[in-house]
A and B are shown apart, each in its own frame.
Chain A
Amino acid sequence: MAYIFQQALNALQLGSIYALIALGYTMVYGILTMINFAHGDLFMVGAFFCFLLAVYFHLSFVPTLLLSMLGVACLGVIIERLAYKPLRNAPRVSAIITALGVGLFLENFTLALSPYPKHIPQLLENTTWAIGALSISSLQILIIVLSLVLMLILDFVVQRTKAGMAMRAISWDKTIVPLMGVPVNKIISLTFAIGTGLGGAAGVMYGLAYPVIDPYMGIMVGWKAFICAVVGGIGNIRGAMIGGFILGGVEILVAAFLPSTYRDVVAFTLLLILLIVRPYGILGKPQPQKV
């Protein structure tokens, strides 16, 4: 029983990180119908910012987290302005390929600056409580709670604020909304800032949970988070959260019962089956065929 609970906790930790990254994919997709394949690498940059701030500026946890989020958000907005905005009316794949290019650039630029994996110092006093056979670390609790808080804030922003309403409107219709006086460029920038900022936060937390970071860490995690976003129904914010927790759960479950090398096989096969059964994701709605 304790074992199951322990694994559930691990699944929540991993799932909340996936969910945070998946949110960035889904928000950008919702507003621009563009897959920002550089997002996984922005997550990696977040972890490296965390390393930089903690090691060279000796900042404590909270400023590290906030500054990393801010840094990644700025980077995201700059990328959007320089690389994606000129392509807004170009064929969709051009934007996707550009995003892949930006991702490769971020990876290799980081690699050029820091050829060796880095080790993030322990920013927080990590206490472990033992409750029966169960051991809970404060870090684990922090990651889960912080992710949930961030997601709740996001949900509030998107559902209840004026800017959030503008975001939802733009994702609904891109031609009419600008005519209603919505500053589209500002809203898109804001979306990128929030989405990539969440990715940066995920990078910091990932770095704290698994302290060895390298420039290629964003690729696999990024693609997996993208899968989460799609499984939840891409463009759907709550779907992304659900997708993240599902993938986290499946991965931990598989790793608990099978050799860890089978983790990816089983996880991806399950996702494939899920997509074949529900081709538009869990919360996604099929596009009506119009004739």
Chain B
Amino acid sequence: MTQLPGLLDTDAIRKDFPLLDRTVHDGKKVVYLDNAATSQKPNQVLDALNDYYVRHNANVHRGVHVLAEEATALYEGARDKVAAFVNAPSRDEVIFTKNASESLNLVANMLGWADEPYRVDDRTEIVITEMEHHSNIVPWQLLAQRTGAKLKWFGLTDDGRLDLSNIDEIITERTKVVSFVLVSNILGTVNPVETIVRRAQEVGALVVVDASQAAPHMTVDVQALQADFVAFTGHKMCGPTGIGVLWGRQELLEDLPPFLGGGEMIETVSMHSSTYAPAPHKFEAGTPPIAQAVGLGAAVDYLTAIGMDRIAAHEHAITEYAVRRLQEVPSLRIIGPDTAEDRGAAISFALGDIHPHDVGQVLDEQGIAVRVGHHCARPVCLRYGIPATTRASFYLYSTPAEVDALVEGLEHVRNFFG
């Protein structure tokens, strides 16, 4: 058994995740290396979901009966947990959405309908990067099309980093908002937040950080980031699907207009007009994903008990090992940084000219689950002249033995198509 410094006690952790014991294809144990797509769920989260429905289920913020009060306390308790998890100055800055895509769409729509000084219009510019997930590209394309604003982006270097050499030309006095990914879901790159934020602040642009691949894996401190908005999703961090988070600075949430209208987000309603509840409720129209928020709260407790810094150290060790072992595979080319420095635990690669679909299929037959395709980041594939990649991504329960299984699996792929 390979021993690496900084590893967590994965024997103990894996006992919390029943799915990791599953076998597929006639008794092969699942080697789950698709964590950047979604994480598995520990018993602590599954129990919280079940307990909520079995004992406390009711709608929130309405009704005076005991169940409604319990459900509300659990839902709002989850908000407290998430606020503490990202070191938010106020719990009212945490908006629950259904996923990170909705969080980013919400920001784009707030800005599209905003008054000055936030308004995005045909005299202003929006800045993103070429390594964004489609969820941080398309909402801004839509906003640009609807407002006439100009969409600009940072390109990528050959080794999978942001090319910031022309930062002063990309982010200018006309820039209203800069939105970028903290950790790339396809390249694994960890981006230099401070450099971008400093320039954005110089020109008075708002900063939106997509932390979907960061919040599950490392400490995300919204105050240290100095961003204006931070988006992430629950299901990649041991929580259920259907729950996402948008953190936003309080004064912005007070000033910016709501996007979705409906129940829950109002103060008073007449047939002519309405006034709105204060944030975060202003941005949470309709019955929210209550059980899912409670599940996310349990996930945050779970991760916090282990410690985000220890999780980051574990993943760094696994990533370092994986990068080294993968480079031993003949004809394998890593797409993205080829060291573990400033890099997350998602590793994309090409294997000779064998198409990723075929790689993934043969790995699946051995019980190894990886993601193949363009990973909702097609511009990255275009940039590097590849149709798709195979991606292995690790988490707190990943082991060196699983890296070894992947490397052996890839040998099998090469023989199969050799």
Pair from one complex: no
